[in-house]
Structure formats: structure tokens, C-alpha cells
Amino acid sequence: MSSVTLANGRSVTLPERPRGRWKLWAIAAVVIAITVIMCLPGIGIGFDLQAIVRNWQHGADKVVKLLMPDWAFFPRTVAPWVETLQMAVIATAVASVIALPVSFWAARPSNPNAWSRGVVRTVLNVIRSIPDLLYAAVLVAMVGVGALPGILALVIFNLGIIVKLVSEAIDITDAGPIEAGRAAGGTQTQINRALVLPDTWPAFASQVLFVFELNVRASTVLGLVGAGGMGLLIDSVRTFYRYDQLSLIILEILIVVIVIDVVSDAIRRRLV
């Protein structure tokens, strides 16, 4: 503690400086050191800044082409966009219907059986650990090129996301009404339908909207492995190095994502 004398003669005691500030600097130093080590050749990824300096002109040429969209290419993007949105809507709807009851099996308040709850959560952890692009690649080999493998891949991947987020929302709900329902003699199914489900609807709807946004973005990429949608067009444009056409597609993706985000945010505000 230290004291300071003011101009009017009063003495003011200053608080001590907070201790442990060195810990923040130590953590920052460790993070920087790990990052540098991971960039070293032989140990890490071998990041080469000189390669960027040597080849910057190639990147500059691509950026210039990306700044000049080919507006005449727009009619060819309409049909792939329609297919992309159809894939996103169908996958979101199917995954939501399946995910709602599974969310009750994965949450502790709605499923007191620890064994069955653990099995469901383990399966969902496995589902989430596999990228949607890998699902699409495997399903394309199984059912062929087109929108169907993309939809199936999105459904599987969405199932893991929705169930995890919704079941976590159920886990943090107030346990008082549920205990009261059990004390009144209600079965677990009755409790879930009358007490848990009404509190779950806002979180469930919010996660469905989030997954729909995610599906629109993912659908534009799944086509790179033959799963239909805008990705097929992106792959063909990229193959022929038509960066002006790719620029138009990127701009369209940006606009569509912004519109969906604004609409989803408005719906969420009404739900909450």
C-alpha cells in the first residue's frame, strides 16, 4: 500500500498493484513460442514466408481477376443455387425431425437411464467427429453423383450438431418442475411432453435456424466431391481457371448468407 498527498493536504491511500500479471505475459510467451515451433521446417509445417514474397505476383493476378466478376455468367448459377437451397432445406427438415426425440434420449433430465444416455452420446460423438465433406465423398461412391449424397451427408452431420446443442439446453433447464412431475406420479414420457418440451422449443428452433445457415454454406462445398449443388459449378469453374466467374459465385454466396443471417436473426428475436 502507498499513499499520495493531494494539493489540499489530504493523504490518499492507493491500492496495491494486482499480483500475477506476469502470468499473462508468460502465457502469451508460451503461445508465441509454440506457434513459432509449429512453423519451423522439420518440426512443424515448414512455413516459408520467402515463397510468398517470390510468388506474390501470381496471387496478385488472381486477386485482380476476382475483382472483375463475369456478370454474364449469372444465368448459369441460378439452377445450381436452387439445388443448393433445396438440399439445405430438405436436410434441415429431415435432421430436425430425427434430432428432436434423440435430444431427449441424450439429456439427463429427460432420460434418467445413464446406460442408454451414454450410448446415444457416444454415437453422436462419433458422428460429429467425421467431417461432412468426408460423409459426402463416401456417399457419392455409394449412391452416385448428385444431390442425394449431399442431402444424406448433411442430415447425418446435422443430427450430431442439433442433438448436442439441444440436449445441452435441456440439461440446464430447471429441475424443479421435473421433480414435481415425478412426485405427482407422471411417467417420463408425460413429463417430457408436458414439462420439458415447451421449454425446449425456443432452443430447438434456434439451433434449426443455425443448422440451416450452416447447410447453405456446406452445400456450396459438398459439390466439390460430386454431391450436387453449387459446388459442382465451383469445381468446373476452378478447373478452367475462370476466376472472374468464381468471383461472381463468391459474391452470390456472400449475399445469400447475409440475407439468411438477417432473416434468421429476426426469427430468433421473435422466438426469444
Q: For residue 21, what are the contacts with CB-CB under 8 A and spacing of at least 6?
A: none
Residue 12's Cβ-count burial label (10 Å; 0-12, 13-18, 19+) is exposed
pLDDT of residue 124: 87
Span 125-173, pLDDT tens digits = 888 888 888 888 888 888 888 888 888 988 998 888 888 888 888 888 7
pLDDT score, position 196: 75
Q: What integer pLDDT is reported at residue 94 of this predicted model?
A: 92
Q: What is the CATH number of domain 72-271?
A: 1.10.3720.10
Q: Are residues 91 and 154 in contact, defined by beta-carbon separation less than 8 angstroms?
A: yes
Q: CA-to-CA distance for 147 and 93, rounded, in angstroms?
A: 15
| Phi (first) and psi of residue 226, to 5 degrees | 95, 15
Question: What confidence tens digit (pLDDT) does each residue in 245-269 have?
Answer: 888 888 888 888 888 888 888 887 7
* Domain boundaries for CATH 1.10.3720.10 within the chain: 72-271
pLDDT score, position 18? 61
- Residue 129: what pLDDT? 86
List Cβ neighbours of 138 (8 Å cut-off, separation of 6 or more): none
Predicted pLDDT of residue 109 = 78
pLDDT tens digit at each of 272 positions of the chain:
556 565 566 665 666 666 666 677 888 889 888 888 877 776 767 666 777 677 666 666 777 777 778 888 888 888 888 888 888 899 999 999 998 888 888 888 777 788 888 888 888 888 888 888 888 888 888 888 888 888 898 899 888 888 888 888 888 877 777 777 777 777 777 777 777 777 778 888 888 888 888 888 888 788 777 777 787 888 888 877 788 888 888 888 888 888 888 888 888 777 66
Inter-residue contact 63 to 247 (CB < 8 Å): no
